[in-house]
Copies of this chain bind each other. A is one copy, B any other.
């Protein structure tokens, strides 16, 4: 009977692969990722519930805060959901006065999204809930561990998607919204 510690298909049991590639280590990674992610966002969930919002709203708020002035299509790419799903979420956020959309100056088909002052306040509160946990874990684990943490996670993202994720880190003031224009 197959059990959880079986060798994977197409791999011999005690083969040459390093210790940290064995099933037990892989399962450990899967589980820590699952529970770690869930733990990280638990606090934010509580804040959202008070306002009648959900995780979908949080994700949109987060990325709009991160890249002010981004277009709807950018957000669709980041969230990897359908237009219809996003559309409801954005409508909620606009109705709550947390997000506003302006016609793009260069391309008037686009709707550039940004947080209102109230939206920025909520996003800050949500971010603070995540920051507490993440900064705590960083401090506990140490800087070198953090580098390893980033390295493994980056490796999990397929190369063709990596640029999109890493691009969030560049140009953090969303200069594009006012640059050339």
Contact = CB atoms under 8 A, between A and B. Distances in A.
Interface of A: 1-6, 8-9, 17-21, 23-40, 59, 62, 65-68, 80, 115, 117, 120-121, 124, 127-128, 130-131, 133-158, 161, 165, 168-169, 172-174
Copies in the assembly, this chain: 2
Given A2-B121, A21-B139, A29-B138, 4 more contacts: A4-B173, A39-B158, A137-B156, A149-B152
Contacts of A19: 143
Contacts of A65: 3-4
Taking each of A6, A19, A153, which has the highest tally of chain B beta carbons within 10 Å of its own beta carbon? A153
Q: Mostly helix, strand, loop or mixed at chain A's interface? A: helix
